[in-house]
Amino acid sequence: MLTRYLSARYVDGGRELPCLDCWGMTILARHELFGLPMLSSFGEVHRQHTLEFQRAYRGEVSRALEECTPFPGAIAAVLRGAVCTHVGLVVMKDGRLQVLEINPASGARVVRLQEFKDSYMKVVFYRDRDPDEQA
């Protein structure tokens, strides 16, 4: 099923296959692969709109997500200081935790979790907040 996402091409603001950005791939794959609720699209927020992107990220985290340890279906968020710069989705492949991601340089791919973490200074993982806590 992951091959469906590996054929995607990076398009800033992309929310539907075959054109996805990192947030588009993450929310679509977590919904389709794990049956999790669709998160906010933020389709109008693009990579160059740093302030709007950060507002959207912080709003979504405070509204629906909480930090966790990595597991299949968790969101892997790359932070530079308090600024989110990239996201991916934790998946199980070949019996190991890996991260499904897309970016302009490498395109769509699956990398080992440790390789993903080693590529960035700080990676935080998120899961859906308990619905009772969201009220």
For 11, the domain range is 3-134
Tell whether pTM > 0.85. Answer: yes
Question: Would you state the structure tokens that stand for residue 4, as one six-digit string?
Answer: 């469906």
Mean pLDDT (the chain, rounded)? 90
- pLDDT at residue number 47: 67
- pLDDT at residue number 53: 75
d(CA 38, CA 115): 27
pLDDT tens digits, 58-82: 888 888 899 999 999 999 999 988 8
By 3-state DSSP, what share of the chain in percent is helix, strand and coil, each rounded to 5?
30, 35, 35
Task: Give how far the C-alpha of residue 3 lies from the chain's centroid of Cα atoms, to the nearest Å.
Answer: 17
Look up the CATH number of the domain holding residue 45. 3.90.1720.10
Under 8 Å CB-to-CB from 12, ≥6 apart: which residues? Answer: 21, 46, 47, 48
Residues of the chain with pLDDT under 50: 133-135
Strand ranges in 17-93 using DSSP code E only, listed in sequence order: 19-20, 65-68, 75-80, 83-93
Task: Provide the domain count of the chain.
Answer: 1
| Cis peptide preceding 18, ω within 30 of 0 | yes
